[in-house]
Structure 1
Amino acid sequence: MRTRPSTPGQVHRRPGRRSPRALLSAVSALATGAVLAARHAHELYHPPAAHPGRTPRHKGLPVRPLSVTTTRDRVTLDAWVVPGRGPHTVVICHGMGRTKSSVLGHIALLHEAGHHVVAYDMRNHGESGRDRKYGSMSERYTGDLADVIASVRRDPEVGAGELALIGFSFSTWVSLHVLRRVGTPVAAVVCDSGPMSDTAAGLREFAGLRRSQLPAPVRTGAAYALYRHLFSRISMHMLAVRNWPPDLAGLPTRLMFIAGAQDPVIDEAQIMGVADRYPEAERWTAPQAMHMNALRFDAAEYRERVLGFLEASFEAAADRRKEAVRHG
């Protein structure tokens, strides 16, 4: 068998075999991807502290502070109470990585319609306390919302009427899960830009949103595939969500699901896949909206649909309460 003559000092390698330097670079990229996946999964539930944002006073709205201490682990949740003409109250849960300042437009919309509004910073967000927890995040966030609802129910100014929830993105599944945790039924839940029917697949897509920000060696190939896989697995492990979607059979709470036709974060099919579990739920795909901004891009229809849905839900809940009182 003939062999090619060698030039002095030349080293021949088998075709396809990587050089030690290339192999080291590949291993380094994989390690970096794994570390970043773990870091970003943790930051999903523990985002960096944000600067204080605008408040209802910037929109000329009345506001007073409300502080809620969680029953599970004594984390302090910072909230705004924006009293309206009453009697009903809407609790707003912002999206992951945001703060209650991000829902000022919705606060103004609901206040103008006459409703009391309570908006709070989720744990590890905004002005609320921070934890150092790595697990059971689903239970923690759901318990927090239950504590906020209990505090609102006890409030003499805003707790006398019916209550509804508006959740955005991450908070939409919390808003559904909490319904089995509260004694008095919630009149309505509006799920805006969420939740996801396949949470693990949705998290893999969410990981892709960071792709352009990753170091170059992690953006492609095996390193990126590992990053995406680990981000989803670690995020799911930390979330520890169970019984999804929740069984809400027998509850009188009315549901509305809103998707954005242009949403690059959570696909319409993911949201409507959850809505399919609740045949009586209302559903709407805002044609111009992206993620959590249907009020901005489809303002007139959003106002008509959401306010109409809440009005009908409050009326139905009030009628049920009157009927229950009538029958002792």
Structure 2
Amino acid sequence: MIWIVLIVSLPGLLYMGVQIRKGYKLVYEGSHPKRSQATPSIPQEAVQRRFSFVSRDGLQLAAIEYRPIPPVKGTVIACHYLGGSKTSIYPYLEPLLRHGYRVVAFDYPNHGESQNRKRNRYTLEDDMRRFLLRLQELQIPGPYATMGFSMGATIAISALDHLPEIRAVIVDSGPLLFVRDYFHYLIQNKKIKNRIAQASFLFLYLYVAGFLSMSQRMRKRLAGLRGIPILFIQSRRDRIIPYKNAELAYALCQSENAQFLVVDKAHHLTNRVVLGETYDLTVLRFLDKWMNNNEKTSHS
């Protein structure tokens, strides 16, 4: 009797296995995007230095320092978007460099020149912690600010946990707080129609990769901020990380020094394209104000 049940059930079990594997494959592809290795042309008066550090599981992660000619006003720690790299975000960084700010950035695992990670587990907060330790080893001085784009917004904010000397934070198109909505959007965008594949996709991203706990930690961080200058830049038309994410982040943030720049006609990561010089001036004025401000603020 047991053998009959097994034989009858086998096609259904095989079908479920195929769909679960399909969900896993899509998650793996999402966390291992096509690599971006842009080669920016930096100003002649600036200097770049490439270095690396090691992740908790032994991966070599590539990093870079863009250094302007002295005097240097401070160091901006830049965090790229999903599918980007430490060099693909250079157009955002060049105005900072020309204005006297040193900029440092690293390639996430599976991105740019960093090594691949076989697992899909979210580790960027720990990667950021190790990157900050490497900056200290290299004696790259502050004062510090962070700037994060899309997925990078989350780790730009999480850096506050590890580097008390951070004086300002800028986030463009983030952070991601409504993670279920985001992955349902991906399901539609990728046209995943099978319910089993959808369930596999959601479970792997939310619970195995750890994005649900990541968003919960971020909500707690934002609610605990006290006085940290943080500039949110967000478009109302962003469909990938919608406006409500930044709106909630700003509402949760208990910092009296938080600002919110709303862009009406941009889409995801096109705020600078739409605003042009206004974008750069807003960022530079924000940095100039807070990087030279010695007033003490609290990260928790």
TM range (shorter): 0.7 to 0.9
Correspondence for 1:201: 181
Counting matched residue pairs gives 276
Correspondence for 1:286: 263
For the 8 Å contact 2:146–2:157, the answer to whether it is kept is: no
The answer to whether structure 1 residue 235 and structure 2 residue 205 are counterparts is: yes
Q: Normalising by structure 2, what TM-score?
A: 0.82
For the 8 Å contact 1:185–1:251, the answer to whether it is kept is: no
Separation in structure 1 between the aligned mates of residue 52 and residue 119 of structure 2, nearest angstrom? 21
Correspondence for 2:124: 141
Separation in structure 2 between the aligned mates of residue 91 and residue 177 of structure 1, nearest angstrom? 12
The percentage of aligned residue pairs carrying the same residue is 20
The answer to whether structure 1 residue 186 and structure 2 residue 166 are counterparts is: yes
1:195–1:226 distance in 2 versus 1, CA, 3 Å: farther
CA RMSD of aligned residues (A): 2.6
Residues 38-67 of structure 1, C-alpha deviations (whole Å, 9 max, x = no match): 21222232324x26322344x655311121
The answer to whether structure 1 residue 165 and structure 2 residue 146 are counterparts is: yes
Correspondence 1:63-102 to 2 at 5 A: 63-70=48-55, 72-84=56-68, 85=70, 86-102=72-88
Per-residue deviation, 1:32: 5.9
Q: Among residues 255, 263, 266, which one is paired with 2:241 in the alignment?
A: 266
The answer to whether structure 1 residue 127 and structure 2 residue 113 are counterparts is: yes
Correspondence for 2:274: 297
Per-residue deviation, 1:101: 2.5
Separation in structure 2 between the aligned mates of residue 38 and residue 229 of structure 1, nearest angstrom? 10
Residues 22-42 of structure 1, C-alpha deviations (whole Å, 9 max, x = no match): xx9xx96x7765433221222
- The letter of the residue matching 1:235 is Y
- The letter of the residue matching 2:176 is M
Separation in structure 2 between the aligned mates of residue 52 and residue 177 of structure 1, nearest angstrom? 25
Runs of 4+ in 1 over 6 A off after TM superposition: none
Q: Normalising by structure 1, what TM-score?
A: 0.75
The answer to whether structure 1 residue 152 and structure 2 residue 135 are counterparts is: yes
The answer to whether structure 1 residue 246 and structure 2 residue 220 are counterparts is: yes
Separation in structure 1 between the aligned mates of residue 220 and residue 281 of structure 2, nearest angstrom? 28
Per-residue deviation, 1:74: 2.4
1:209–1:314 distance in 2 versus 1, CA, 3 Å: same
Higher-Rg member (1/2) = 1
- Alignment partner of 2:171: what SS? strand
Correspondence for 1:175: 156
Separation in structure 2 between the aligned mates of residue 112 and residue 91 of structure 1, nearest angstrom? 16
The answer to whether structure 1 residue 62 and structure 2 residue 47 are counterparts is: yes
Residues 94-141 of structure 1, C-alpha deviations (whole Å, 9 max, x = no match): 111221222010121110111001121111111012222243x1xx21
Separation in structure 2 between the aligned mates of residue 126 and residue 196 of structure 1, nearest angstrom? 22
Per-residue deviation, 1:75: 1.8
Separation in structure 2 between the aligned mates of residue 146 and residue 251 of structure 1, nearest angstrom? 21
The answer to whether structure 1 residue 115 and structure 2 residue 101 are counterparts is: yes
Per-residue deviation, 1:305: 1.6
1:198–1:52 distance in 2 versus 1, CA, 3 Å: closer
Residues 130-174 of structure 1, C-alpha deviations (whole Å, 9 max, x = no match): 222243x1xx21111122222223434xx3221111111112112
> Gapped runs of 5+ residues in structure 1?
1-23, 212-217, 322-328
Per-residue deviation, 1:227: 4.0
1:122–1:226 distance in 2 versus 1, CA, 3 Å: same
- The letter of the residue matching 2:291 is F
Per-residue deviation, 1:319: 4.5
Separation in structure 1 between the aligned mates of residue 275 and residue 185 of structure 2, nearest angstrom? 25
For the 8 Å contact 2:36–2:88, the answer to whether it is kept is: no
Correspondence for 1:41: 27
- The letter of the residue matching 1:263 is D
Correspondence for 1:106: 92
The answer to whether structure 1 residue 277 and structure 2 residue 252 are counterparts is: yes
1:73–1:35 distance in 2 versus 1, CA, 3 Å: closer
- The letter of the residue matching 2:150 is S
Separation in structure 2 between the aligned mates of residue 278 and residue 301 of structure 1, nearest angstrom? 24
For the 8 Å contact 2:64–2:105, the answer to whether it is kept is: yes
